[in-house]
Structure 1
Amino acid sequence: MVTIKDVAKRANVAPSTVSRVISNNDAISEKTAQKVRQIMYEMGYIPNVSARRLVKKQSNTIGILLKSSSKEMRQNPFFTDVLMSISKICKNSGYSTVISTSADEAELLVEVKELISGNAVDGFIVLYSKEEDRVRHYLRENNCPFVIIGKQLNDADDIYIDNDNVEASKQLTEYLISLGHRHIAFIAENKTYAVNIDRLQGYRTACKNAGIALSTYEGAAGTDDVRQIIRSLPADITALITSDSMMNLNVLSELYLAGRRIPADIQTATFNDSYLNETACPPQTVVDIFPERLGEEAASRLIEYLCHRDMLKVSKMIPTRIIERQSTKPLKEWDE
């Protein structure tokens, strides 16, 4: 069996240097690290990760917390993109990941307590932000490192990675107004979470600035809520904004069943670009929130903090952009 000493002898370095390379220690130059890794590969050396974890009292595992494990959540392209980018950064840094499987907040809190008490994770990435969150409070109480993908809701010294969802929604609404719309409805998912509250606020601000009446609805994707909302829409509504892609998919289905054509009869726009929105019929105008960058930044910041616990905690905003597609057009094109 190949050992650290064997690798060190062939690389002409000390065994401690090989150990530091395995641990991604910053004290080792990139040139030396690459040389040692190449020799490890050539010799077929596989580090004893379990033994190293016992000695260092680290799991080298990052916990990822979803707000629920519902089917809609698991199939949401946003979370798939975020999780893939988190996994990539963690893998490149020598960390594995474990994803929560809890159905609600109470169950999630129990799961988090078990992971912490069992030293199963070194820190968490929380994929939501909400007021009065017992999970976040417990992490803070137990001095457990974590990063939140979501809005900063208080003055707590935490790390947040987010978009400016108020401004993004305001710009999307203003874009529809620029197309000639004066009757725009907004359909929001659960308003408990900050992202939906912010997107609704941006819509309201844009409508108020333009002197347009508000038309807001709330419902849960994958339920009869959406069907009832579409059936009750006033006839003068010419554009619909949905707070996320999964809600938008439900809306498209219900509009189809109601015989309403897009964009001839009504126009639609939503948040987060994905294959589903790009290949929808018709392709959907969206606000691209760059979920891959959100995941990459969250994972990088957490791993940096795990290595340097005295670092300054700095949050970051990821910019957004509007992608125009066939679901929206200037109204005059359809009035002629």
Structure 2
Amino acid sequence: MNARILLLLLWPFAVSAQGFAGLGTGTDGFSTPQQPAIFDFPADHGPHDDYRIEWWYLTANLTAEDGTPYGLQWTLFRSALTPDGGEGWSSPQLWMGHAAVTTPDAHFVTERLARGGIGQAGVTADPFEAWIDDWQLVGDDFDTLRMTASGPDFAYDMGLRAQGPLVFHGDAGYSVKSAQGQASYYYSQPFYDIEGTLTLPDGDVVVSGQAWLDREWSSQPLSDNQTGWDWFSLSFEDAKLMGFQLRQTDGTAYTSATWIDADGTTTPYTDGAFSAQPLSVSSVAGREIPTLWRVLLPDRDLDVIVQAINDQAWMDTSIPYWEGPVTVTGTHAGVGYLEMTGYE
């Protein structure tokens, strides 16, 4: 049997399960996030094999020398088949990598799949190294990184340098995802400066901009009635905002947000304080996807329009979703990234 097909058959998200992509499945002996959240760095930049699901998720808003906007994504997912350990091919760890580049006119995406325990993919904390095949996100520490990836029709080689502290979402990194109490550990480094070269079909493009890296792990981050999410990371001149809504089968949504000041000071917002309202949809991969949004956070007098740079930024991967760069106008101006899952 083709190894790719076998891996997809084994991948927990690809099978029938509760909640979007199986993320509402029971914990089944895996560890679960607890309060108070206690972090240990640099160790927590590395993997947590006793949790079912984990990711290292980087997005970047870039600009070329001629002013053209670009978006970039580098993501490594780890998932465990069982909470038990194992060596070599008996390791229960599975890995999936996504890389993408978005331009105003095109969206390039590719995927890698790997088994754990055989050196094909993994993460080490100190020095930091995350890889799948020849894709790498590496550095002597988490503040200064080099990132590479390639696909059939694109590649990139980027350098990143943090200009601010890590930030922690929810209750000091304990991020509640539902009224039933499902949660994850969730922190970000949203202050990277990034520069490097995109290799596209028309040639190399030198770019620079801002990048945002999310770290999250859990064993049951969603409830069984949550069908997908709309996640926003927005950067303004003097602040940043992370906000998400988890759509539910009864038509309501569970929301959470973090306001991030320029010095890294955070203010968390619980369910109901943040809202995102779709204003128009685009036909994307045979689906109707909202690509123009009104986002509100009244406590910060924020009322903005979030618009996709390219409404066709569809991630045609094993678990398909929409992910792409956006512009922000209204009471606050800026750029950011939008991820939307669960649109059938």
TM-score normalised per structure 1: 0.25
Larger radius of gyration: 1
Structure with the bigger percentage of strand: 2
Structure that is richer in helix per residue: 1
